[in-house]
Chains A and B, each alone.
Chain A
Amino acid sequence: MKVSYFPGCTLKNKAKDLDLYSYKSASALGVTLEEIENWQCCGGVFTSADDEVATKLSSVRALKYAFERNEPLVTVCSACHNVIKQTNYAMQTNKTFADKVNRYMAEDSYNGEAEVYHYLEMLRDLVGFDTLKEKVVNSLKGKKIAAYYGCLLLRPNKVMRMDDPENPTIMEDFIRALGADAVVYAKRNECCGGYISVESPDSARRNSNAVVKNAKAAGAEMIITACPLCKYNLEKNGADIPVVYFTELLAEALGVKEDTNA
């Protein structure tokens, strides 16, 4: 299976691990990630205003690319996934917006036809967690791992449609597929503070600490995430258990992890 892959800015720089392990794991699972040519940064956050057009064009170009190749668009960074899925939804549901966007596009118009998958959704819906389970070489049995969804993976649910936004299971099912114990805790879908660490570092610290504290109280020995900013905020604000990208864990379980200096 071949998919159009949108890595995003951070995965080419500070989050090279997330990118590298995505490739290696996908290939171990029989999925080829074809990097979208000349992709541009998604912008990090989706601007919900209906009259914002220019900031969403990079996402539309990536979507159109995948659609024209008849491939699902797969992203691994929570932020890219959120922005691209929200943009695609706006293209499907807001005709005025789509018309404005299409005036910027060179050739045929695009109306939200592409299918957007987060890497986790790809594992669940295209690969299948049962298949994943079979391919695990190094079972992570006995590890108590907490999934940290943050806000971007699940919300707004009307658009993301990834899982139950208040009681998600996709990452827990992923953890279990790798043989580990999933630790369920209430703060797993609460915000780490996101970009607010620029404006109010204290606010980000309070939010991040509350997440780690809650995960640890529930017995977690490790937290996994799909978002470079979540990882940064949790670590910078003193997480005293490892915070790792879910793809790193995946690569380890699939036996394709190797030392990198990313």
Chain B
Amino acid sequence: MQRVGVFVCWCGSNIAGTVDVQAVAEALKSEPGVVFSTDYQYMCSQAGQDMIKTAVKEHNLTGIVVCSCSPRMHEATFRKTAAAAGLNPYMVEIANIREQCSWVHKDMATGTEKAIILGKAAVAKVNLNAPLTPGESPVTKRALVIGGGIAGIQTALDIADAGFEVDIVEKNPTIGGKMAQLDKTFPTLDCAACILTPKMVDVAQNEKIRIFSYSEVTDVKGFVGNFDVTIKKNARYVKEEICTGCGACLEKCPMKKIPNEFNLGMDNRTAIYIPFAQAVPKVATIDPTACTMLKKGKCGICSKVCTAGAIDYTQKDEYIEEKYGAIVVATGFNPISMDKFDEFAYSQSKDVITSLEFERLTNAAGPSAGKLLRPSDGKHPHTIVFVQCVGSRCEACAEKGKEYCSKICCMYTAKHAMLTRDKYPDTEVYVFYIDVRTPGKNFDEFYRRAVEEFGVKYIKGMVGKVTPEGDKLKVQASDLIANKQLHIDADLVVLAAAIEPDKSARPLATMLTASMDTNDFFTEAHPKLRPVESPTAGVFLSGACQGPKDIPETVSQAGAAASKVIGLLAKDKLTGNPCVASSDELMCNGCSSCANVCPYGAITYAEKEFRMPDRTTKVRRVAEVNPAVCQGCGACTVACPSGAMDLKGFANLQIMAEVDAICK
């Protein structure tokens, strides 16, 4: 029998407001094995922890039950306290009487009753606890960054700067991401290319960094410090290491009418293409859906004009297997489709565009060489209407919009409006807004400049209908301050489309066993205190894959993710989790049920020799768990038909003791 000490925390009034903590401490005194029981205002404070240490010594405690908050919050704290007092840290059990009790009950009597029951269960369990010792595993000192936008680029550069190798996997033919498509950046109006392309070049030239462009991650195995990743390099039909990016093939390619993704389909590219002049790597890629040589075996012009001999129509997809210690997700975002918002007539008029299309229209490298011209007739627009929150904050329309605020639209719309008025002062610019949200350094000042210095007309209200008629866009809108319905004949309407995570994020999260929210943004380990770590050990988050973000915030988070990776890769060994499965080989019949359900591939089989009662020996097939790979999920213990598989720290006996204590 253990000698158990019970420590009931008030958590200020968080617990004590709904649970009679003294009654709980008193009631648990009479539980089997309990030799000491007390309560205290803040058990996690230094004074609280000292109280535990003193009690361990004075009462020769061998087990500890802390009735407090969720073990996710302070289990580690109290394990350290136990270790400092000379106990094995796994002799601590937490009864969660806050999240699962005081916060969900309003009535003191019910709250107290439930807290006592939870405490009893924890005491019953700790009576059966045994000391556990974690194992160690080595760390592969190389990181993988998935996504080559500004988030991935910054993370990779920072990790490489600390001396570790980094690979970037980017699904497009070039790195650069969304930032490469932008014109100017708020709030300082630097040209996006001027500040991004030097970083892209740094990545290309950094000997610690490899770029796998036009590639994707197809499989991830292993665990923190020891990931095995399969990368698929899509065939680009051009030998990357030979191509000089001279562009001769682009000039001669006869397939010239392929919508250009980089300019969002507003102009055309050739079937063999380089997305933009500063692409990294600057090599050509053949679009297999457009190339007549690849589709019909006729043409071959690019091969003839390539003096370097880089064209290879027979190239196949290539699979590469690599080992990494840490993985950073930087898969970014996309604007949502405007198909379901046709009250704005996006499908009906070329002059209704999204904000990202507007970026291309004002970019010197864009389809109109930086002149703001209407896509329909190439004329200069004299009246422009910007509509904010298209598809954002849209709770009613889950099938078309997003419930959240997309965060970046207020600022980029202010930027677009301001730059338009600056360059074309004869243009009337209206911005329809619900709220203007500009938290950020120099952000509100920026928005006010658009209004006060540049004369942008901000109207509190929404656009209800856009009717293309003749060469005008008839905009019907509300002005809530004037209490009027407005009718504006516009030449161009710009929609601030909501942003959503890239479609590649969901399958990637499954591969990484990293959790996501209902909007497919990656979930952080703690929303405040661990914002760049995924709850899955060894997986880190950078940029908009975790939530909508502007460039300054993305770069900060990218650096933070890098520092967490560096902290991990700097270690030679990682301490594992001792709460792993183990198989009783005498009971195991080698049926493979456990291996079939194991999500981590932690279970293997071995032929072992057993002594039989008649002194003969017999060779049997039995399960073996690799404790470094096992994550302690417990699936195998449920699947095992003979009861051979058990989980250390959560043994079947311990769980049943808890259930019994609750049902008593």
Contacts and interface: CB of A to CB of B under 8 A. Distances in A.
Interface residues of A, number: 12
B159 to A, nearest CB: 46
Interface stretch (B466-474, B518-526, B548-556): B466-474
A262 interface: no
A185 B342 CA distance: 11
A186 B465 contact: yes
B341 A166 contact: yes
Q: Max chain B CB contacts within 10 Å: which of A184, A186, A213, A217?
A: A186
Contacts of B345: 186
B397 to A, nearest CB: 9
B663 to A, nearest CB: 37
Contacts of A166: 340-343
A139 interface: no
Interface in B240-299: none
Query: What DSSP secondary structure best describes chain A's contact surface?
Result: loop
A214 B468 CA distance: 8
Contact of B348 (A164, A186, A190, A213): A186
Contacts of A217: 469-470
B181 to A, nearest CB: 26
B469 A167 contact: no
Interface string A121-150: 000000000000000000000000000000
B339 interface: yes
Contacts of B339: 164, 167
Given A166-B341, A167-B342, A190-B465, A184 B348 contact: yes
Nearest to A166: B342
A164 B399 CA distance: 11
Contacts of A56: none
A253 to B, nearest CB: 26
B339 to A, nearest CB: 7
Given A167-B347, A184-B348, A186-B348, A213 B341 contact: no
Interface in A136-190: 164, 166-167, 184-187, 190
B467 to A, nearest CB: 4
Interface in B465-489: 465-470
Nearest to B473: A186
Nearest to B349: A186
B498 to A, nearest CB: 16
A166 to B, nearest CB: 4
A142 B605 CA distance: 75
Given A186-B345, A186-B348, A164 B340 contact: yes
Contacts of A213: 469
A213 B474 CA distance: 12
Contact of B342 (A164, A214, A218): A164
A20 to B, nearest CB: 34
Contacts of B466: 186
B347 A187 contact: no
Interface in B451-505: 465-470
Interface in B371-403: none
Contacts of A164: 339-340, 342
Interface string B153-164: 000000000000
B398 to A, nearest CB: 11
B464 to A, nearest CB: 10
B469 to A, nearest CB: 5
Interface in A90-147: none
Contacts of A190: 465
A184 B345 CA distance: 11
Nearest to A211: B467
Interface in A210-250: 213-214, 217-218
B348 to A, nearest CB: 6
A166 B345 CA distance: 9
A260 B339 CA distance: 43
Given A167-B339, A185-B348, 14 more contacts: A164-B340, A164-B342, A166-B340, A166-B341, A166-B342, A184-B348, A186-B348, A186-B465, A186-B469, A213-B469, A214-B467, A214-B469, A217-B469, A217-B470
Interface of B: 339-343, 345, 347-348, 465-470
10 contacts: A164-B340, A166-B340, A167-B339, A167-B348, A185-B467, A186-B348, A186-B465, A186-B467, A214-B467, A214-B469
- Top 3 nearest A-B pairs (CB, nearest first) are A167-B342, A166-B342, A186-B467
